[in-house]
Amino acid sequence: MSLRVLGVDPGLTRCGVGIVEVAANRVPRLVSVHTIRSASDAPLEQRLLIIARGIEALVDEFHPDAMAIERVFAQNNVRTVMGTAQVSGLALRAAAERGIPVALHTPSEVKAAVTGYGNADKKQVGAMVARLLGLAEVPKPADAADALALAICHAWRRNAPDSVAGTLGGSLTPAQRAWRDAEKSVRTPRLGG
Amino acid sequence: MSLRVLGVDPGLTRCGVGIVEVAANRVPRLVSVHTIRSASDAPLEQRLLIIARGIEALVDEFHPDAMAIERVFAQNNVRTVMGTAQVSGLALRAAAERGIPVALHTPSEVKAAVTGYGNADKKQVGAMVARLLGLAEVPKPADAADALALAICHAWRRNAPDSVAGTLGGSLTPAQRAWRDAEKSVRTPRLGG
Residue B192 in any domain: the answer is no
Question: How much is the pLDDT for A173?
Answer: 45
Q: Concatenated DSSP letters for A70-86?
A: EPP-TTS-HHHHHHHHH
Annotated catalytic, B137?
A: no
Residue A154 in any domain: the answer is yes
For the ranges B22-26, B50-54, B186-190, which has the lowest average pLDDT?
Answer: B186-190
Q: What CATH number is given to the structural domain containing B153?
A: 3.30.420.10
Task: State the Cα–Cα distance between residues A174 and A145, nearest whole angstrom.
Answer: 27
| Mean pLDDT value across chain B | 85
Domain range for B29: 3-187
Residue B193 in any domain: the answer is no
- Beta strands B102-105 and B66-70 are parallel
Which residues have a Cβ under 8 Å from the Cβ of B121 and sit 6 or more positions away? none
Question: How much is the pLDDT for B157?
Answer: 85
pLDDT of A187 over the 60 cut: no
pLDDT of A32 over the 70 cut: yes
Predicted confidence band at B191 (pLDDT cuts at 50, 70, 90)?
very low
Count up the domains in chain A and report the number: 1
- Beta strands B102-105 and A28-37 are unpaired
B101 to chain A nearest CA, in Å?
A: 9
Predicted confidence band at B134 (pLDDT cuts at 50, 70, 90)?
very high
Task: State the Cα–Cα distance between residues A127 and A190, nearest whole angstrom.
Answer: 12
Nearest to A118 by CA among A147, A148, A151, A153: A153
A183 to chain B nearest CA, in Å?
A: 30
Chain B residues lying within 8 Å of A104, measured CB to CB: 44
Per the DSSP assignment, residues forming a β-bridge with B4 are B21
pLDDT tens readout for residues B160-174: 544 343 333 334 444
Residue A192 in any domain: the answer is no
What interhelical angle do B142-159 and B107-115 show, nearest 10? 80
ipTM score over 0.90, yes or no: no
Write down the catalytic residue from B9, B21, B109, B146.
B9
pLDDT of A29 over the 70 cut: yes
Which alpha helices (DSSP H) does A117-172 contain, by range? 122-133, 142-159
The answer to whether B96 contacts chain A (CB < 8 Å) is yes
For the ranges A1-15, A128-142, A172-186, B61-75, which has the lowest average pLDDT?
Answer: A172-186
Task: Give the predicted TM-score (pTM) of the model.
Answer: 0.82
pLDDT of B6 over the 70 cut: yes
Residue A136 in any domain: the answer is yes
Verify whether the Cβ–Cβ distance A93 to B52 is below 8 Å.
yes
Question: How much is the pLDDT for B149?
Answer: 97
Question: How much is the pLDDT for A191?
Answer: 33
For the ranges A88-92, A172-176, B186-190, which has the lowest average pLDDT?
Answer: B186-190
pLDDT tens readout for residues B63-105: 999 999 999 876 666 678 899 999 999 999 999 999 999 999 9
The answer to whether A85 contacts chain B (CB < 8 Å) is yes
Residue A182 in any domain: the answer is yes
Residue A49 in any domain: the answer is yes
The answer to whether A69 contacts chain B (CB < 8 Å) is no
